[in-house]
Chain A
Amino acid sequence: MTEYNFAYLDEATKRMLRRAILKAVAIPGYQVPFSSREMPMPYGWGTGGVQVTAACLVPEDTLKVIDQGADDTTNAVSIRKFFARVAHVATTEATAEASVIQTRHRIPERPLTDGQILVFQVPIPEPLRFLEPRETETRTMHALEDYGLMQVRLYEDIARHGEIARAYAYPVRVEGRYIMDPSPIPKFDNPKLDNSPALQLFGAGRESRIYALPPHTRVESLDFEDYPFTASKAAGQRCAICGAEDSYLDEVITDDAGGRMFVCSDTDYCATRVAAQAEDAA
């Protein structure tokens, strides 16, 4: 066997995934169980995102894959190469040019547009899992919309630390109904989930769940009136490469003496800004 089916998966598997995706879109924030397949990359390395992307791709697509905001991290490279090989789609690093973006842990800085699909790789889709390890219990909590445990836990954080001590995978409420895990994006990215013109799909392969945020869906980060949610990032820093103050920054250790610098985690955003600055200077 030398040639794989378009987008790797067989048609029956893609139909199963497509049905699950449509139900996920119809019930925003609800985790649809699907029969996840073994993929040629390990569980935990984006198999859910890869299956969702495979089910969505058409030959005309332009695919962007990022990990930690960067197109050039090894796992992003590996997944991009996989789809270039099995679906013959064009690939890009430019957020604006991509029709499908598969991501791990970030939402691009550049606002997404109508028609774009953002596919998140999700390790633990169940936002209540860190409170209750049992699927049978958390399923009932969602069914009954019984989220008291989550409120209590977050409030305990405030009592102990003076704030909600969650920096990433910060839980959200979708259209006032389901509590959802936004995948381990930094909470800096949470506001981008809300009312996005793009379709946001979430795939958790090992846990066999797909969920979705249709465009223009109301997504609120959980908080309390007296402790409102804030989308934080490195305080008072700017990107050492492009000078951006509004982007999420990675901290890089530059020498043995504890020297450090901050740079954009979104490499396309950073490169685009640098190119524009060069053009302005010329």
Chain B
Amino acid sequence: MYVAVKGGERAIENAHAWLDDARRGDRDVPDLGLAQIREQLALAVDRVMAEGSLYDPDLAALALKQARGDVIEAVFLTRAFRTTLPRFGASLPVDTGAMQILRRISATYKDAPGGQVLGPTFDYTHRLLDFDLAQAPEVAPAPEIEARPADTPHILSHLDAEGLMQGETPGGSEVPDLTRTPLEFPAERALRLQALARGDEGFLLSLAYSTQRGYGRNHAFVGELRIGHVRVSAHLPELGFEIEFAEIELTECESVNQFQGSKTEPAQFTRGYGLVFGQSERKAISMALVDRALRARELGEDMDGAPAQDEEFVLSHCDNIQSSGFLEHIKLPHYVDFQAELELIRKMRRDAAARQAAE
């Protein structure tokens, strides 16, 4: 006897219980602490903070634990929490020139004031599995150097000083917020950057890669990539002064791209910009390349239908919470629509057969 999909409620409860059980796994293995995730899976924590648009390493670690290490699921948990928080206002722009540098490299100059600092990078490691790590070895502290006392000026400022770098147009005083205002096209650059900063790393990586391979080609140099800590402050009208309320880790990338010039402007370099929470340089570089590609229209460059140059395409599809939600919703029942399709196909076949018989 047919039973109309009854028992949904109990099925859900049982599934949740199973999920909890599976998350914990073998009880003989110690439970994973949030501090362990925060300290030892720090780059996953950073990605959750960046794409979750919420700077809180402990919450991101919790989200990763709850999501069983599924980063997009953890981003989703973070976003769903973030949306319940009141919005007090906007911080003042962070001064990345005053960043306490952990890593700073330039592909365009061999040396510059402040020097090149490799920092804790994978770059020159040989990707050989380190079987010693499986044995929880003692790790000696890394050698330390004196922190640079002065600010580290941006490398592109040297090009700026020569007039070779196109200046950036300052945005309005009002900071746009795409979580509070529905996206509208064309979107100003500040809003585009906001969308990219929380966009999916994999999506941006592929788009950036596509520009390198010729889809909206615009050769980029990494003018500067820096990672470090910056102070965040806000102006509180009630108090009438600025207060510093946080220190956060950021990755910033400025790309240098050639610009042929136009009738009104001489040839010069232009900039793509990436700024991401935590240590996320793959994302920051990708973001800078996509930002630059999205400026094609403004700079009067050839638009040949490359996806990375298409603002609506990029901004409508870069959010992994939107895309994964919609993608996965096709798991939900569609009996009704499918039934309607089924009847339509049968009817069209009947009609076609009848027409054939009549001929």
Contact = CB atoms under 8 A, between A and B. Distances in A.
Tell me the interface secondary structure of chain A in the complex: loop
Contacts of A277: none
B2 A136 contact: no
B114 to A, nearest CB: 39
Contacts of B12: 74, 77-78
Interface string B171-203: 000000001111111100000000000000000
A45 B181 contact: no
Contact of B344 (A34, A105, A165): A165
A135 B312 contact: yes
Contact of A73 (B87, B333, B337): B333
A240 B2 contact: yes
B82 A38 contact: yes
Contact of A136 (B80, B312, B341): B312
A167 interface: yes
Contacts of B184: 33
Interface in B1-55: 2, 4-9, 11-12
Interface of B: 2, 4-9, 11-12, 76, 79-80, 82-84, 86-87, 179-186, 312, 316, 321-322, 324-329, 332-337, 339-344, 346-348, 351-352, 355
A42 B325 contact: yes
A36 interface: yes
16 contacts: A10-B84, A35-B182, A42-B321, A42-B325, A44-B329, A67-B333, A68-B336, A70-B5, A104-B332, A136-B186, A162-B355, A163-B347, A167-B343, A169-B337, A240-B2, A248-B339
Interface residues of A, number: 69
B334 A162 contact: no
A251 interface: yes
Interface in A9-35: 10, 12, 33-35
A67 B332 contact: yes
B322 to A, nearest CB: 5
A184 B87 CA distance: 35
Contacts of B80: 38-40
A76 B339 contact: no
B8 A72 contact: yes
A168 B337 contact: yes
A135 B187 CA distance: 12
A42 B328 contact: yes
A246 B5 CA distance: 22
Contact of A35 (B6, B82, B181, B333): B181
A157 B11 CA distance: 42
Given A70-B5, A270-B4, A42 B76 contact: yes
Given A44-B325, A163-B347, 20 more contacts: A12-B86, A42-B329, A43-B322, A68-B333, A68-B335, A72-B4, A72-B8, A74-B11, A75-B332, A105-B334, A136-B186, A167-B340, A167-B344, A168-B337, A168-B341, A184-B334, A188-B340, A208-B183, A233-B340, A248-B336
